[in-house]
Chain A
Amino acid sequence: MADAFKAEIEDLKKKLSQNPDSLTFVPLAEAYRKSGMYKEAVDVCKAGLEKHPAYTSARVVLGRLYLEQELYDEAAEELKKVEVVDHDNIMVHSMLGNIYVKKQMFAQAVEQFQRVLSLNPEDMETQDKLQEALSAKQTVPSESKKEEKIAPPPPAAKEEKPAMTDLQKSLKVAELYSKKEEFDKAIEVYRELLEKDAENIIIQQRLREVYDLQQKKINKQKEQSEKRKSAESDKITAEDILDVMKEAVENDLVDEEKTEPPAKKEEPKKEAKKEEPKKEEVKKEEPKKEEPRKEEPKKEEPKKEEPKKEEVKKEEPKKEEAKKETVEKAPEISDNKKIEIGNVLQSLSTVDGIVGSLFLLRDGQLVASVLPTTINKSEIGGIVASIVDKTEQSVKNMKQGKLNQVVIASEHGQLLFTELGKGVLFIIGDENINVGKMGLVLKQVKEKMKQLM
């Protein structure tokens, strides 16, 4: 195992030196942690966080590094920073709960464990911890005094809370504006926040990100308008384009006549003829017709059951569904989203026993991955997509509805995959993986990924 980490550490060090601004410092810190090199892990993490102060996953890793070294105050400090911006982070609440137990601050521990359970009520481990913290809270009468000595005085902490909530709310509002691409409004919110707290590095970082996004949008718009101008100067008229499109649609219909029974073809043909003059409608039809054809041969079901007319009629709505699916199956994921998904996967690597994870689209296109160096990234996307596809097909054939999740337990580890929106999340765990914990984290990750997709 140590050798495996050595190789991984060397590889990650090389990558980081080649691109010092990358996020590789997190897996490197994790590799150091796993091989017990805590000092190196903390140093790498701190250096990385100086460049990426808003990278919460890294802060969680740093918090955990401190926690494992029993540096509870330092750990709490880092984790609280994450809590401010990501108040639904189960891992953070769980770790903070553990820290408070160690510090015998049971009231705070109870609060943290309750927050974990509000996010995942089925977490048995936290249920036990909550019970223990509750009974400890009752049996330790001098607790409040202890807390006063160790922690900042409770009244002050209480006063801070509304301010934190306001900050969280404002950050969320700004995030929403940013997601809606209303960058001016997002910038306004961040500026207002900075007026109150000019040194807040998280807000500074976010503001910078919004400026970047805004600039990208402006550049895109410029490009598009330039393209439009050049298209206008071109001598090909819209009517010419329309003719080409009509031809393409008619060719498609001819193709369909060849491949499909007569009952089916009439409807679309009539529609197409009636709607010929309308440019937009013809445009919309084109991709719908091409894409499902690519999909159908894979699934094979309709081919085997071809003959009966009634069945064909029943199949029609399915076809439309397939069209919708295929339109959704080829989404374009922006670089920003890929980075965010990568960050989510990175946070998974902080869970004990998880050695890697990847997120890919249904066609096998790898969106983001955090994998050990022993796994060949270029090959794995295709392999995983094929496994997911075949398993899904089997479940479908068994008429057991949609596939939710698969866990494969093997000699040296476990694999888990689950459908997430337009893609598949695949997690690789070693033999020591805590399946309960993984389920808990997975639930949290699913929520985050859904938002991202």
Chain B
Amino acid sequence: MDFKSLLQKIVSSVDGAIGAGVIGEDGIAIDQFSSKSDFDITAAGAEYSTIISNAKKASQSFGLGKTNEVLISTEKATMIMMMVGDNYFVTLALSLDGNLGRGRLELKKSIPELEKML
């Protein structure tokens, strides 16, 4: 299975999922899939990586060790980011009524496969 097929599988199996992507910590997206044409994770890659890097700094400041996951809820969407190895992360954006629990589960399930691919 390639990246896009895996991301497509995640998006199609989670209610309210808008898009998913695999992004490097440098902000460059490896691949993405979105169910809405106006949602472009590639363009937002840099912002996602900034959020991850801030989260890492926060964890370090409080002595909490390695960051595994970041969950952000905003006025318009919920975003889940999970680390894949040390330098990449997979992200899933959900609408406000999206199934967050399922989204987290699907992302967690995808990590071993993504690690093999990277």
- Restricting to B1-58, which residues have a CB under 8 Å from any CB of A? 44, 47-48, 50-51, 54-55, 57-58
- A314, chain B: closest CB distance, angstroms: 21
Instruction: Give the shortest distance, in Å, between A298 (CB) and chain B (any CB).
Output: 15
Q: Which listed residue (B70, B73, B74, B76) contacts A409, Cβ 8 A?
A: B70
CA gap between A405 and B96 in the complex, in Å = 13
- Say whether B109 faces chain A, with CB atoms less than 8 Å apart: no
Q: Identify which of B50, B66, B72, B76 contacts A410 (C-beta below 8 A).
A: B66
Residues of A391-405 whose CB lies within 8 A of B: 391, 394-395, 397-405
A199-224 interface bits toward B, Cβ cutoff 8 Å, 1 = contact, 0 = none: 00000000000000000000000000
How many angstroms between the C-alpha atoms of A184 and B15 in the bound complex? Answer: 57
B87 at the interface (CB under 8 A from A): no
With a cutoff of 8 Å between Cβ atoms, the chain A residues found around residue B72 in the complex are 391, 395, 403, 405-407
CB atoms of A374 and B63 under 8 A apart = yes
Tell me, yes or no, whether A412 is within 8 Å of chain B by CB.
yes
If A394-B47, A402-B75, A403-B72 touch, whether A412 touches B65 (CB-CB below 8 Å) is yes
Q: Is the CB of A402 within 8 A of B65?
A: no
A407 engages B70 (CB within 8 Å): yes
Which B residues lie within 8 Å of A406 (CB)? Answer: 55, 70-73
15 A-B residue pairings within 8 Å (CB atoms): A383-B57, A387-B58, A391-B50, A394-B51, A395-B47, A401-B77, A402-B74, A408-B59, A410-B68, A411-B59, A411-B64, A412-B64, A412-B65, A415-B64, A428-B64
Chain B hits for A391, CB < 8 A? 50-51, 54-55, 72
Knowing that A404-B73, A404-B75 are A-B contacts, what are 20 other residue pairs whose CB atoms are under 8 Å apart, sorted by A's residue number?
A384-B58, A387-B54, A395-B74, A400-B76, A400-B77, A401-B74, A402-B74, A404-B74, A407-B71, A407-B72, A408-B58, A409-B69, A410-B65, A410-B66, A411-B59, A411-B66, A411-B67, A412-B63, A414-B64, A428-B64
Question: Cβ of B59: which chain A residues have Cβ within 8 Å of it?
Answer: 408, 410-411, 415
Q: Which residues of chain B are near A401, meaning CB under 8 Å?
A: 74-77
A-B Cβ contacts below 8 A, count:
98
Smallest CB separation, B39 vs chain A (Å): 10
A227 CB–B CB distance under 8 Å: no
A interface residues, how many (CB within 8 angstroms): 30
Choose one: B50, B57, B61, B69; the contact of A394 (CB below 8 Å).
B50
Nearest Cβ on chain B to A294's Cβ, whole angstroms: 23
Closest residue on chain A to residue B49 by CB atoms: A394
Q: Which residues of B contact A410 (CB under 8 A)?
A: 59, 64-68
How distant is the Cα of A238 from the Cα of B2 in the complex, in angstroms? 76
CA distance A410 to B56 in the complex (A): 9
A91 to B76, CA, bound (A): 31
A413 within 8 A of B: yes
A377 within 8 A of B: no
The CA of A228 and the CA of B68, in the complex, are separated in Å by: 59
A208 to chain B, nearest CB (A): 38
Contacting residue for A383 out of B61, B74, B77, CB 8 A: B61
Known contacts A383-B61, A413-B62, A415-B59; A408 and B76 CB within 8 A of each other: no
- Cβ A409 vs Cβ B47 within 8 A: no
| CB of A375 within 8 Å of the partner chain | yes
Name B50's closest neighbour in chain A (CB-CB): A394
Q: Are B51 and A375 in contact (CB under 8 A)?
A: no
What's the Cα separation between A399 and B64 when bound, in Å?
A: 30
Given contacts A380-B61, A410-B65, A411-B64, contact A397 B70 (CB under 8 A): no
Partner of A398, one of B47, B63, B70, B73: B47
Interface of chain B residues 62 through 104 with chain A (CB within 8 A): 62-77, 79
A169 and B54 CA atoms in complex are apart in Å by 46
The residue on B at minimum CB distance from A407 is B71
Whether A409 pairs with B50 at a CB distance below 8 angstroms is no
* Chain A residues positioned under 8 Å from B79 (CB to CB): 400
- Least CB distance from B48 to A in Å reads 8
Let me know if B62 and A409 touch, CB within 8 A.
no
Return chain A residues, CB-CB under 8 Å to B74.
Answer: 395, 400-404
Q: Would you give the shortest CB distance from B78 to chain A, in whole angstroms?
A: 9
Q: Is the CB of A409 within 8 A of B44?
A: no
Q: Say yes or no: A408 contacts B70, CB within 8 Å.
A: yes
A408 x B67 contact (CB < 8 A): yes
Residues from 422 to 447 in A contacting B, C-beta threshold 8 Å:
428
Q: How many Å lie between the Cα of A402 and that of B76 in the bound state?
A: 8
